[in-house]
Structure 1
């Protein structure tokens, strides 16, 4: 057993709640832009004073509508300014926010609203309103439905016009540090989603220590962050609350289809994303270079960036020749890549899945360091992250200051700290199992090095045991295979089988480019090309790269290219892009069997 901890850098308030942050900002930084929202397609700043006023107006409307302290109010919307506004309005009314993914099915909406006992829900669109309406009869406690696109914020402002300032002040201070701030339902890779109860204290401990440890990234009046993660996800809430706590300017993007355009217009100094975002930026840049006949230059530049980053981790640092090559490629390639990411940032924070060592070195080598972290819904997002001044690529960093990471005898990662959830809503048995002996049992397998840097090597319940008795952690191989531009998703199989296999889906965008470059018929799809010899050879190269990270017994011997994507609608992945392995295995059982046919 091994454990590591760092002293707390932030003193969690003994009382109070998260609404203290927006009142403090208005008092100490009244004219500082704490938010930006799109108005007629143009980013428009919102000052600390203006944001507080808009939050209070919406909160008064909730109070006038009968929302009581401790009531649960659901919020179902894409990531947008109104999401943040209404989140703080719910807290200001003394209530508890229950986020609902905007992609949730009617059945999932019914479960979350019913299980939480939500008395009201704020939805974004007609489609969301229809989902709620279709299950309304099964939700006797639900009294109000407001729609953002139908003027919910203005409607709440009108409804609360008669609520006094004194009543508002009493209500906004009604919640205490140990009261629930939110109930975030886990994505549910298996079974029904469970509601993680996160208190105001959880967010203070989490965001306070993140901001203090990464202080150069959170300079008031200088720094900004663009939030394009789902606001319903706990990682998105970390971004929201940390930005308000600093405070730094926060912008929200509801649709990432035009993310590079949004980055160019907002120009954030800090980006927070999942590995797939950083993979796509790299793959898109490489594909464009190849299309322009500059593929070899790009590859040489990428190799130089990786070598330069690796050299930064050595005592002697980069050699003179490497420095000169790096300087040349900075003018030819790296500067353009940084411009794609907004042109002002030097750091990003990545979570949700492993980034991969090669990609981590590539980004640091171009002058845009991606600080990898690790966390779960139950840990209020990051429970470990790489420090800005001492990142160790290939790890998820050191523990959140003020918390403890322990590696149990069986390799499981155990956690302790004020940032942890207090339990699962109305589920005492699951809470007792997860929080045994004062430690949260993550279900993840990991290691700690001599400096307290954590590496996650797999999931305890996802370990595959082959017929030969070999234990295989799928994540290691899957992440390497998924890094290839052509690969969208990969799921390793082989439990009880003679060897390890894999199901692979193709990235539709890059498949089209690859097909054109290789003379395949126009309109070629994964279905039409899945047996194509050239395509199979290209995917095999991705598999070979994945196999290079593991032993021969753990390596993928055979794979199948699937004709369709893993989708959230089909139940194959969660909204946070985690694989539902049991669903995939069931839906593609025939494909799995074909791997093992003689």
Structure 2
């Protein structure tokens, strides 16, 4: 069978090439159940018929707002089959963003997972210009349910559906994905079937798995990163298992024993934190062995020639006694974890690799469909880089170091926004806005966001992301944002790690241990601790880059409070505005 030409060709390709597997799997009533690829295709067809009967035409926009679940994928393929465009939206954005996206995309029909999301859209209904109807996946007596739509299509023949499917071209628009944006309104990235499939085929080569291996999914499928991974899994014949929730990932891993999954650094950091907290509870020789293994892992190097024979012997013992438990906690069969969306701390990456847990850090952005480069076992790895450009994707650096990318994966443009499109698409090259450099003439390394670099009043350039990456490797610091544009020197807004600072206090300052969390974190003793830690880390930077002063914030930056995008990037403009008084206090 020839390779798929449209995204919705993928399930049929899997049915032909990897017969007899359950394409999607989920837990229900304490039991893992799945849907076969054949049944999945039939259900997709039935939904497509319902959409046709409703009156959805080619290029109509249909919104999908839901957490990961089977229905998300059914609707995704069903919309595309009738030539309509999937507007994939996060379920945790603001009402203002819902209003903007639904109006900007001219959404005609909307699917949401539950009553809560339905009521949120109902609350802004008088501001929505084009939405005709909203269906829910969950069943409620007073709300339109998606089964009603499916029943509308009973009179639509297979021939009519096939005729409509045949008219969908690979160059047709498949989806609009609105970038969360760290400033201003979101922009609708237009991705065709060709764009996304080109990225699927480019990515497939680097996946360290084979047909019938198990894939775990817990990142939101509305994000291009996880969505393309789903498409690659389907192409390669991997059954996909949905984690029940972010809180159950550990238990789900043990039951599923996945060979692959994708993650963002924040998830891998939390896994590490849980491991460290358990290690901290150990006593005597077990505790000593645990921290001996950690120390060993921190000195790991991919270049085996740099590791002494004695180190390799010790590592072999550490893997058997300590690190094997890390692998078991992830199911024991992981062949690869893809890490993206943000930079993973170098120290953590070394620890995971030393433990025999293969993490492949990559890079991309929605406008590139989204994957551009990745570290992988087939083409080589370099700790601290985001790997080698994927097969079929060209990458070069502009004179100022900006990363430029070209290939069939690059978006068509921003929806109804020719000015913004012209800013980033020039002569076929996507201007990513990221600053990079080459390591060993082949590995791409991200240095910073072009627009996030700033100058001090002395004319010195500050690259905040590099400083933040180094300082956030401290166990005592949970989050940090470097500030200081136009000021004499750079400073920082810091959220300390409550758990680790509390552990320190138990041994050194017991008088503050029982303070409420917010009082504890802004206590002078904690501030002194953070200052000592900053002074230790400042040796990594030039004099003009050193963090001279800082303000402690007691509450984490989150999506819900508006400081992070859904992909966990800091909204610097919003943070600067929200904490402008604290910043002024620093410099006064």
Which of 168, 176, 180 is the aligned partner of 2:169? 176
1:422 aligned residue: 412
1:255 aligned residue: 245
Shift of 1:537: 4.5
Question: Which region of structure 1 is more displaced relative to structure 2, 287-296 or 333-342?
Answer: 287-296
Identify if the C-alpha distance between structure 1 residues 362 and 521 changes in structure 2 by more than 3 Å, giving closer, same or farther. closer
2:428 aligned residue: 438
Shift of 1:569: 2.8
Shift of 1:440: 0.9
Question: Which region of structure 1 is more displaced relative to structure 2, 126-135 or 517-526?
Answer: 517-526
**Cα distance in 2 between the residues matched to 1:333 and 1:358:** 18
Q: Give the match's secondary structure for 1:146.
A: strand
2:294 aligned residue: 302
1:362 aligned residue: 351
Which of 514, 534, 548 is the aligned partner of 1:557? 548
Tell me if the contact between 1:76 and 1:102 (Cα under 8 Å) persists in the aligned partners. yes
Q: Give the match's secondary structure for 1:554.
A: coil
Question: Which region of structure 1 is more displaced relative to structure 2, 407-416 or 380-389?
Answer: 380-389
Identify if the C-alpha distance between structure 1 residues 121 and 545 changes in structure 2 by more than 3 Å, giving closer, same or farther. farther
1:6 aligned residue: none
Shift of 1:254: 5.6
Deviations 1:245-297 (A, max 9, x none): 21211122363122211222222111211111111111211121112235543
* Larger relative contact order, structure 1 or 2 (CA cutoff 8 Å, min sep 6): 1
1:157 aligned residue: 150
Shift of 1:232: 1.6
2:192 aligned residue: 199
Identify if the C-alpha distance between structure 1 residues 298 and 489 changes in structure 2 by more than 3 Å, giving closer, same or farther. same
Question: Which region of structure 1 is more displaced relative to structure 2, 261-270 or 581-590?
Answer: 261-270
Matches within 5 A, 1:137-286: 137-150=126-139, 152-214=145-207, 216-217=208-209, 219-221=210-212, 223-253=213-243, 255-286=245-276
**Cα distance in 2 between the residues matched to 1:528 and 1:379:** 44
Q: Does 1:326 align with 2:338?
A: no
Shift of 1:507: 4.4
2:324 aligned residue: 335
**Cα distance in 1 between the residues matched to 2:195 and 2:448:** 26
Which of 396, 399, 402 is the aligned partner of 1:409? 399
Deviations 1:147-194 (A, max 9, x none): 111274533332322221112222233321111111000112110000
Tell me if the contact between 1:477 and 1:546 (Cα under 8 Å) persists in the aligned partners. no
Tell me if the contact between 2:7 and 2:193 (Cα under 8 Å) persists in the aligned partners. yes
1:496 aligned residue: 486
Deviations 1:550-597 (A, max 9, x none): 323212122221022222233211111111111111111111122222
1:112 aligned residue: 101
Deviations 1:292-321 (A, max 9, x none): 2355432220222233x31x414x353321
1:4 aligned residue: none
Tell me if the contact between 1:32 and 1:47 (Cα under 8 Å) persists in the aligned partners. yes
**Cα distance in 1 between the residues matched to 2:533 and 2:46:** 54
Q: Give the match's secondary structure for 2:544.
A: helix
Question: Which region of structure 1 is more displaced relative to structure 2, 95-104 or 500-509?
Answer: 500-509
2:53 aligned residue: 64
Tell me if the contact between 2:26 and 2:241 (Cα under 8 Å) persists in the aligned partners. yes
1:585 aligned residue: 576
Tell me if the contact between 2:17 and 2:237 (Cα under 8 Å) persists in the aligned partners. no
**Cα distance in 1 between the residues matched to 2:257 and 2:536:** 35
Runs (5+) with no aligned partner, structure 1: 1-10
**Cα distance in 1 between the residues matched to 2:247 and 2:192:** 34
TM-score (normalizing by structure 1): 0.92
Matches within 5 A, 1:92-103: 92-103=81-92
Identify if the C-alpha distance between structure 1 residues 547 and 34 changes in structure 2 by more than 3 Å, giving closer, same or farther. farther
Runs (5+) with no aligned partner, structure 2: none
Identify if the C-alpha distance between structure 1 residues 87 and 573 changes in structure 2 by more than 3 Å, giving closer, same or farther. same
**Cα distance in 2 between the residues matched to 1:408 and 1:521:** 52
2:449 aligned residue: 459
**Cα distance in 1 between the residues matched to 2:513 and 2:536:** 28
Q: Does 1:136 align with 2:125?
A: yes
Question: Which region of structure 1 is more displaced relative to structure 2, 398-407 or 20-29?
Answer: 20-29
Identify if the C-alpha distance between structure 1 residues 513 and 381 changes in structure 2 by more than 3 Å, giving closer, same or farther. farther
Identify if the C-alpha distance between structure 1 residues 510 and 147 changes in structure 2 by more than 3 Å, giving closer, same or farther. farther
Deviations 1:166-225 (A, max 9, x none): 1222223332111111100011211000000011111111011111232x32x111x222
- Figure out how many residues of one structure are paired with residues of the other and give that number: 578
Matches within 5 A, 1:448-597: 448-507=438-497, 519=510, 520-522=512-514, 524-533=516-525, 535-540=526-531, 542-544=533-535, 546-597=537-588
Shift of 1:328: 1.5
Deviations 1:320-372 (A, max 9, x none): 21122112211221011111222210321101111122222111111012111
Which of 311, 328, 340 is the aligned partner of 1:351? 340
Shift of 1:501: 0.8
Tell me if the contact between 2:480 and 2:492 (Cα under 8 Å) persists in the aligned partners. yes
Tell me if the contact between 1:413 and 1:441 (Cα under 8 Å) persists in the aligned partners. yes
Which of 14, 18, 22 is the aligned partner of 2:7? 18
Matches within 5 A, 1:362-381: 362-381=351-370
Identify if the C-alpha distance between structure 1 residues 42 and 119 changes in structure 2 by more than 3 Å, giving closer, same or farther. same
